[in-house]
Chain A
Amino acid sequence: MLVVNGLTKSYGKLLAVAGVSFRADDGETIGLLGPNGAGKTTTVSIIAGLLGPDSGEVLIEGRQVKSDTDPVKRKIGLVPQDMALYDQLTARDNLTFFAALYSLAGAKAKQPIDDALNLVGLSDRAGDKVGTFSGGMKRRLNLAGALLHDPQILLLDEPTVGVDPQSRNAIFDNLETLKKRGKTLIYTTHYMEEAERLCDRIVIIDHGRVVANDTLQALHKLLPVTNVIAIELDLEHADGFKPEQMLALPEVKSAALEQSTLRVGVHNLSHDAPGVLRWLSDNGHSYHHVSSVQPNLETVFLSLTGRSLRDSK
């Protein structure tokens, strides 16, 4: 079990993490969701022992990490956001080295290495240099490197950044397998669909603070809207369009513009949609496509912070 309690961390005047707290039970997958710069990586770095917090504590199985060599660190496996591999070495050499960092060598290391390679589907490329791998294969090997010492808690810091959809699915399959094995996964991402697919609970972080911490179903209940109207504006009308103007309408609960797509949150689709469309026409904004979507984490984030996940800084 992992308990994160009141973590704060500043870099000079910048408050990166401001009182972050959450817990993860065995076998649970927690999604740390937030835009770039929200404080997710700093939180993960503190949990992994890479950074010391200014205040607060991290308890792993009820114990704090007290030194660099504290055996409790063996309970954590870190999958860093930046690729942590030596391109000049083979996949097996990389894993042999990572296993040795946890004092696993020779016969003791062989089985975990074989298992990890097997899990991520790279057994047939074990003897190839990592420099010859695709981005997706490297990401999978990056994951394998964190599994060798059989940690209970896996910290996954945006493990799918920059990979193609096929590799992303492969990684998801790997993580689901690990989840079935009872591992605790802490998964940071700013892709809400990833969090929706994998996570039992979502911790939404913005500007270093936890703005929500609950199951996906419970988070949906927080929404002030039940439906989102997606309106494709004609390009010439999208430029300079200010969606916040629409908040003046009583039926509009939220409004955000992403490129030419205007997303408007309403309570009652059949009752509120005509008013929204009429307002657009009355104000000279033409559109060529209208659809309605169920609210997702993006909408949750939008409703909690007033900002879009991808565009937030």
Chain B
Amino acid sequence: MIPFLALVRKDLKLFFNDRRAVVVGVLVPILLASFFGYLFGGQGGNAETSKVNVLVIDQDGSDISRGLITQLASDKNLDVKPSALDAAREAVRKGKVTAAIVIPKDFGRDAGHALFTGTNETGGHKPELGVLYDPSHNVELGMVKGILSGAVMQAVSKEMFNGKSGRETVNEALAQVENSTQLPPEDRKALRDLLGGVRELNERRNEETEGASGQGALSGGLTMPYETRDEAITSGHDVKYNGYAHSFGGMAIQFILFMGLDVGIALLILRQSGLWQRLRAAPLSRTTLLGSRTVSASLMAGFILLVLFSFARVVFGVRILGSFAGFVGICAAFSLMTAAFGLMVAALGKTVEATRGYSIMATLIMVMLGGAWVPTFVFPKWMQRLTVVIPTRWAMDGLDAMTWRGLGISSAVGPIAVLLLFTLLFGVVAVMRFRWGTD
């Protein structure tokens, strides 16, 4: 037992002796995790998101176009500014704004007409709103178009039910309906009743406005017929989602894997040194030599997890809302898996340089596909199914379950079992392929 403990103690001593490396090893993941945590919702899950910059080119100058711009500007997700067409096109091209909305001449008149008849004033197509967009911002484009739809509906209907141009448009539409030879009599009657009702409503609203008697139904135009009530499902009613829980778990996993990689590379370098000869000349079993390194690497991994989650707890209020035993179990299983991964790297590696390159690539893939950078739900479905063969995915899901999701020990059993299976697999490969002779 003395040699085993001495080997473990020596590894830990070497690790902690390099204070600069230790500080960097915990400081960098803390900085990255803090950054990612802020991006992904922060402490309350309501981190302020930056507004989407949008330019509006009003070539119409109608009440409807002005109303539309007012509607867009009132949306909390958009930062709307007026612009000229050429300047807007240039701004989008340079990436300074996400999109520019072009309201063409006669848009107000044609849109009002199209609201009731499906055509413009001359019976042609519906009017078009131009949307110039930056193709690298497809996600924001979807959001802008959604907001635009609601704003157009509200601005156009408001004018139709309340404004002067609305009355004119309704009258024109009524005349068009009366003169149409293609409409069946039943449809003509229905449209006449509808438009007549709108005209009556509009005239009454006009009288009320002149008499300053207040607001009535539809005075603000048609609006979305629903509102949403958002409820984040977390571990409890009063518990808010904490984005730092995921980011600190992710960064801990990434940097522990890198630490495991360093352990493997260090073993590879050790094999080429006189120290390895001295170790092999001593009466030590192979189990002692590899086992002690597994234990020391696991303890180092445990140390990184402890520091990172302690920091997250104190500074960002990250809590283990689920099973603490499950959390410890996942951390321990992941630490063991990392140690076995390091040994496998040492066993399979030939030259230090090549091994470092290959294993960094493998580590980054594991980190990326495991959801340590961004949650796996943003991946395509096929990729989400594929990533179950990645051990980091299980570690991430397990840490999420034990931290902000607040799940019980039963949700930790699966990840722990899978991580231990990977430990076994990597360990067996390491033992079978390890070259015990000197290089």
Q: What would be 8 A-B contacts, judged by CB atoms less than 8 Å apart?
A: A50-B280, A50-B438, A73-B282, A74-B283, A81-B274, A84-B274, A84-B277, A105-B2
**Cα(A167)–Cα(B38), bound, Å:** 60
Which segment, of B11-19, B204-212, B297-305, faces chain A?
B11-19
Contact of A69 with B285 in the complex, beta carbons under 8 Å: yes
In angstroms, Cα B282 to Cα A76, docked, is 9
- Shortest distance between the CB of A104 and any CB in chain B (Å): 8
Q: Are A49 and B6 neighbours in the complex by a CB distance under 8 Å?
A: no
Question: What are the nearest 3 A-B pairs in CB distance?
Answer: A100-B6, A84-B274, A80-B274
Contact across chains for B285 and A101 when beta carbons are under 8 A apart: no
Please judge, given known A-B contacts A74-B283, A88-B14, whether A98 and B278 are in contact too, CB under 8 Å.
Answer: yes
B185 at the interface (CB under 8 A from A): no
| Cα A68 to Cα B283 with chains together (Å) | 6
Which of B2, B5, B13, B286 is within 8 Å of A68, CB to CB? Answer: B286
**Contact A84 B284, beta carbon cutoff 8 Å:** no
Interchain CB contact under 8 A, B277 and A48: yes
Interface residues of B (CB under 8 A from A): 2-3, 5-7, 9-10, 13-14, 17-18, 273-275, 277-286, 437-438
The answer to whether B17 and A88 have CB atoms under 8 Å apart is yes
The answer to whether A89 and B13 touch (CB under 8 A), given A73-B283, A82-B273, is yes
Query: A73: nearest residue on chain B (CB-CB)?
Result: B283
Q: Interface size class for chain A?
A: 35 or more
Task: Tell yes or no: A102 within 8 A of B by CB.
Answer: yes
B3 in contact with A103 (CB, 8 Å): yes
Q: What is the CA–CA distance of A86 and B275 in the complex, to the nearest angstrom?
A: 8
B281-A49 in contact (CB<8A)? yes
Are B10 and A80 interface neighbours, CB within 8 A? Answer: no
Residues of B within 8 A of A78 (CB): 277-278, 281
> Does more than half of chain B's interface fall in helix, strand or loop, or is it mixed?
helix
A94's nearest neighbour on chain B, judged by CB, is B10
Query: Does A83 make an interface contact (CB < 8 A)?
Result: yes
Q: Counting CB contacts under 8 A, is A45 at the interface? A: yes
Shortest beta-carbon distance from B277 to chain A in Å:
4
Interface check A191, CB cutoff 8 A: no
A96 to B275, CA, bound (A): 14
Q: Name A108's closest neighbour in chain B (CB-CB).
A: B2
Residues of A within 8 A of B10 (CB): 86, 89, 97
Give Cα A50–Cα B273 distance, bound, in whole angstroms.
Answer: 13
A97–B273 touching, CB < 8 Å: no
Convert A138-152 into 0s and 1s, putting 1 for each residue whose CB lies closer than 8 angstroms to a CB of B. 000010011000000
For B438, the closest partner residue in chain A by CB is A50
Q: Is B438 within 8 A of A86, CB to CB?
A: no
- Contact of A293 with B by CB under 8 A: no
What does the 1/0 interface line of A54-74 toward B look like (CB < 8 Å)? 000000000000001111011
A194 at the interface (CB under 8 A from B): no
Taking CB as reference atom, which chain A residue is nearest B282?
A101
CB of B274 within 8 A of CB of A51, answer no
Given A70-B283, A105-B2, residue A45 in contact with residue B438 (CB < 8 A):
yes
B13 near A51 (CB under 8 angstroms)?
no
Q: Which partner residue on chain A sits nearest B275 by CB separation?
A: A84
Tell me the minimal C-beta distance from A38 to chain B in angstroms.
17
Question: For residue A80, which residues in chain B have a CB less than 8 angstroms away from its CB?
Answer: 274, 277-278
Q: Which residues of B contact A73 (CB under 8 A)?
A: 281-283
A-B contact sample (7 more), CB < 8 A, given A50-B280, A73-B281, A98-B278: A48-B277, A77-B281, A78-B277, A80-B278, A85-B275, A88-B14, A101-B279
Q: B6–A50 contact, CB under 8 A?
A: no
| CA A221 to CA B390, docked complex, whole Å | 71
Closest A residue to B6 by beta carbon equals: A100
- Contact in complex: A102, B283 (CB < 8 Å): yes
- Nearest B residue to A98 via CB reads B278
Complex: how many Å from CA A105 to CA B277? Answer: 21
Residue of chain A at shortest CB distance from B5:
A100
